[in-house]
Amino acid sequence: MSDSAPPGELAGEITHLLELIQEWQALFPQAAEQAGHWRHVLAEVQAHLAEEVVRVAVVGAVKSGKSTLVNALMGREVLKRGAGILTAMITRVRPGPEERALLLFKAPEVIAGEIQQALNFLPDARLENHPEPFTLSRPQDRELLAQILAGQEAASLWANGSLNQNYVLLTAYLAGYGRVEEALARGSLELCGPDVERHQELVTQEELAVYLADALLTLPAADLPPFLELGDCQGSDSPLPQHLTQVLAYLLKCDLALYVISSRMGLRQADFQFLQELRRMGMGEHLIFVLNLDLGDHRDAADCEALIARVRRELAPWVPKPRLCAFSALQVLLERRREAGGLAPQEEAFLALVQGDPGKSELSRRGWEEFQGLFRQAVEGVRAGRLAGGALPQVLMVAKGLAEQVDWARRLLDRDAGAYRELAARLQARRQPLTAVRASLHQTLEGATRHLGAELKHRVDAFLSEQGSREASLVSFVLTYEPDWERLLADEPAAPLRHQLYRLFQEFQQELLKLAGGEFNLQVVEFVRRQEEWLRQELHRLCEPLVVALEETLALYYRETAALGLPGEPPSLKLEVPPRPPKLEVPLLSLALEPGWRWAGEVWLRSGMGVLERLWQRLKAKAGWGSLDPRQQAEQDLRRALAAIRRWVREELKVQLVDFGERLKFRYFLPLVAELAQGLEEGLERQLKSLLVDLEGLTQALSHGEADREGRRRRLDALAPRVRLVEARLTSLAAQVNGG
């Protein structure tokens, strides 16, 4: 896949325009201000094209072949593949001129906060008397943590059938500290050349990946455009809730997603659930499905084709007319590596086995070719859409403005200095209505920013309120949560109540984190998408009448210029609300429940349990009055504790939802309103300034150049058709990217 044609063509036309502007300024140095504006606009577009990234998330279930697909696209072993769940975090891969890996580590305070929060859930008396916050840099703290984790292993490793997150997190931090201690002090690690392969152990091993905040690989890949980013994501069915939150956060930045399905496993319930989540995020139309064929598992090509047809039928209810390609990512990778320089003997043997069935091998190759075409088309579609909405109209206005200035200069060459000044005065008067309408536009957007910001704050409050009818409300979950009592008490009915209490809360916390990281954050994404669409419509509705007024005023202005012998065609201004700025990221909810060391005792007291009640139960048993057996007693105690836990969590949740709402308002929506309004106004201003001739500068230039009038005429006559040719090519390109 090479750089797509429209952006490449646009870059070429910008280069031509800059050359023509330079020639124009050499002819009329007194009109440098207008030339400076044109160059500034074109420089901004060039920078935007250079920095703009098309992000593609590679998603799917655990062990579906996501990393292998990224490797196949890059044509080399970029990401580690093999047995086990190797993708511990999202790794971003971009084509570039040299091999480079940039790994950013979490800030020390972030690591300390995560460790402290996890420690709060360990029922160990040694933690209550610890004099100061834990830090891994102290050997005695690492030794104490190792002892505590060893004692907690049997009781805390599993919760509700899944790995307990606090135990896993602390174990990972402790196990990996010695290997990253030096890099943590620097904050980042940059690897170049052959050392790039070292990144694999950092991003695939949980005890090392836990320290990372970001991983970006840049590697040569001649078949891929430099603006592409591939994000190798964790499995959608990963047992770790934070993985889903990370994937959702990355998907919010992405333009496309490649959904990988293993032919060995097919589509499972977890896939359908994740597809539903993707559709709710608005990604349904931006998916390309890859059925990753394990050719050794299929009898022949007919067996593969039957599976392809079945997967297509199963996808249809979720994504109408799914774009599905089927091929062996491993076969593609090995074939590309062999072409580049050879394989290991065992890899050659495997590839020979795969290619031993020509029918299956050829089916895979056709699928790969089809995928490349679809992928290229999708990426080019994203780029073309961005061009149509932003860069291209600005460049076209520069070309139109330059063409008109050249034409006007040619017509004005025969007039004397007095005529220049009279013309400038008459046209300047015609600009006054334009100035008035532009001022009205500014005032309208200023007022709209305040009004729309206030309305969005109100909508956020309503969205997060308990009265908002949310099917999977966090508050509703907290107030109605019930554990699996049989399983909770089956193993250790006579275990110390303190340990049972912590285990109950750990399960409660894990289920709540799953809900917050999954369903609740999906509702946040849906809410944000609706508000963004509403905001764009409101800005468009408020500004459209003023843009119409601007166009009408421009038409009068051009009518006046035509009457003065300077004909031109009034332009159509493009009212384009800019895209969301990349620096603004949608905040997602990340709950942090911190019970503190005395939390267990507080729950004990608030639930009505305690020494007196247990003493009463023992006295009844001695008197023969009947008593609960240990299991019944434990369940009764824990049920009372659960009621207190619910109240405590409800209070904590209320505080955190308020904080989340404030972040949603003041760190996202209010800056978004301001950025969109400012971008809309600046876009219109750039269009107008690119068009309106710098009359004063042009008049001065013509007045000072009377001695060389014929020389200027010849140079302008040569310049005019070249400028019009660039304008015509840009107009054709605009029709192309708009589908016209």
> CA-based Rg of the chain, rounded to a whole angstrom?
33
The pLDDT tens digits of the residues spanning 529-545 come to: 999 999 999 999 999 99
The pLDDT tens digits of the residues spanning 215-248 come to: 999 999 988 988 899 999 988 777 666 777 888 8
Q: What is the pLDDT of residue 200?
A: 81
Q: What is the pLDDT of residue 631?
A: 73
Q: How confident is the model at residue 343 (pLDDT cuts 50, 70, 90)?
A: confident
The pLDDT tens digits of the residues spanning 553-579 come to: 888 888 877 877 777 777 777 788 888
Residue 1 has pLDDT above 80, yes or no: no
Token couple for 231: 């994000």
Is the pTM higher than 0.75? The answer reads yes
Q: How confident is the model at residue 84 (pLDDT cuts 50, 70, 90)?
A: very low
Question: Residue 116 contacts by C-beta under 8 Å, 6 or more apart in sequence?
Answer: 133, 134, 594
Distance CA 489, CA 480 (A): 20
Q: Are 624 and 490 in contact (CB under 8 A)?
A: no
Average pLDDT over residues 302-306: 94
- Nearest Cα to 329, choosing from 80, 2, 73? 73
Share of the chain above pLDDT 90, in %: 29
The span from the first CA to the last CA of the chain, in angstroms, equals 25
Mean pLDDT for the chain overall = 82
Residue 160 has pLDDT above 50, yes or no: no
Residue 154 has pLDDT above 70, yes or no: no
Cβ burial of 136 (10 Å; 0-12, 13-18, 19+) is buried
Residue 366 has pLDDT above 90, yes or no: yes
Which phi and psi (to 5°) does residue 101 adopt? -130, 125
Distance CA 679, CA 701 (A): 33
Distance CA 389, CA 384 (A): 9
Which segment of 73-87, 235-249, 650-664 scores lowest on mean pLDDT? 73-87
Q: What is the pLDDT of residue 156?
A: 47
Q: What is the pLDDT of residue 371?
A: 97
Q: How confident is the model at residue 86 (pLDDT cuts 50, 70, 90)?
A: very low
Distance CA 12, CA 23 (A): 17
Strand order in the sheet with 212-219: 188-192, 100-105, 212-219, 91-95, 228-232, 54-60, 256-262, 287-292, 324-327
Token couple for 521: 């954050």
Which long-range contacts (C-beta less than 8 Å, at least 24 apart) are formed by 459-463?
A: 459/531, 460/661, 460/664, 460/665, 460/669, 461/661, 463/527
Pairing mode of beta strands 188-192, 100-105: antiparallel
Measured at the alpha carbon of residue 499, what is the angle toward residues 494 and 505, in degrees to the nearest 5?
Answer: 120
- Nearest Cα to 202, choosing from 105, 113, 115? 105
Which segment of 464-478, 592-606, 643-657 scores lowest on mean pLDDT? 592-606
Token couple for 336: 């590309």
- Nearest Cα to 694, choosing from 405, 478, 387? 405
Average pLDDT over residues 682-690: 80
User: DSSP 3-state assignment of 4?
Assistant: coil
**In DSSP terms, which residues pair with 232 in a beta bridge?**
58, 91
Q: What is the pLDDT of residue 128?
A: 67
**pLDDT: which is higher, 492 or 514:** 514
Q: What is the pLDDT of residue 404?
A: 84
State the DSSP code for 357: S
**Domain map of the chain by residue range?**
107-198, 419-578+594-704
**In DSSP terms, which residues pair with 737 in a beta bridge?**
none
Q: What is the pLDDT of residue 284?
A: 86
